[in-house]
Amino acid sequence: MSARLHFGTSSWNYKDWIGPFYPPGIKAADMLAFYSNVFSSVEVDSSYYGIPRATTLESWRQRSAPSSRFSFKTPSAVTHERRFVNADGYFAAFIARVRTMGEKTGAILIQCPPDFAPTREARAALFGFLETELPGDLPVALELRDPRWYDEGLFDFARATRFTLALTDGSHAQPELAARIGEELVRRPPAPHAYIRWLGDQAFPRYDKVQADRTASLDRWERLIRSLRDVCDDIYAYASNDYEGFAPATVRTMLVRLGEAAPPETGEMRLL
């Protein structure tokens, strides 16, 4: 088995990428078409703030390359405001909306807040929600930012319910935790997909070039991805600008490391 790779960045509409990635003078409306001919997938951050408009999704569907996959963050109304209590209707409306992307719908990320602690009440709310509301036809990844959640009960529940646990490198998830989760996913995969996020832990004044040496981190991620490819059908992975300073370079570097055909070089990426 060798998993299909759906790699991309967290969003695509960045002015700082004009020149280093996008051609000079490009209009914002043309960025998606250009982006989707370089990378096969993108993580939509804007859905965290609310259910996307149907017209917006149709526009993205029409303007993106045929093989594009859009992964969506679950709205904060579900995860942060309602915290999975009485959130079924809103979540169902969200899923119904993103399904209109058809085969371009990628994975669904359920990102919990950092202060969502594994209390008895929180565990009951989350597990009850996941048990009854997850779509059976879309891959789902759960990101918990309190490390105390990651016990055998969570892994067993994920396997029973067929969702994966997001693997994250950032201020809310240290490499040691990602490694531990990754070992469990490789040992007994809970679902046929994996979901990776390279978020980083710092902000940069501009996002137009690589500004942090992440060689050691990328070495670890490369080893983990190679292991996951043997047990998964699909791997979704997204880089934030805050990881190295320039997300397109992060994604391209990892794909080359994995022996994949390098995405087309664009702008000043030719110098990387």
Q: What are the pLDDT digits (tens) for 124-134?
A: 999 999 999 99
Residue 1 has pLDDT above 70, yes or no: no
pLDDT at 172: 83
Number of folded domains in the chain?
A: 1
Using DSSP's 3-state secondary structure scheme, residue 249 falls into helix
What are the pLDDT digits (tens) for 234-257?
999 999 999 999 999 999 999 999
Per-residue b or e along 141-174, where b marks 16 or more CB atoms closer than 10 Å to that residue's CB: bbbbbeeebbeeebbebbeebbbbbbbbbbebbe
Q: How far apart are CA 191 and CA 137, in angstroms?
A: 12
Mean pLDDT score across all residues of the chain: 95
> Which residue range is the domain that position 229 belongs to?
4-271
pLDDT at 269 over 80: no
Stretch 9-28: mean pLDDT: 96
d(CA 57, CA 70) in angstroms, rounded, equals 10
How confident is the model over 69-82, as pLDDT tens digits? 999 999 999 999 99
Q: What CATH code is carried by the domain that includes residue 180?
A: 3.20.20.410
Is residue 194 within 8 Å of residue 236, measured between CB atoms? yes
pTM: 0.96
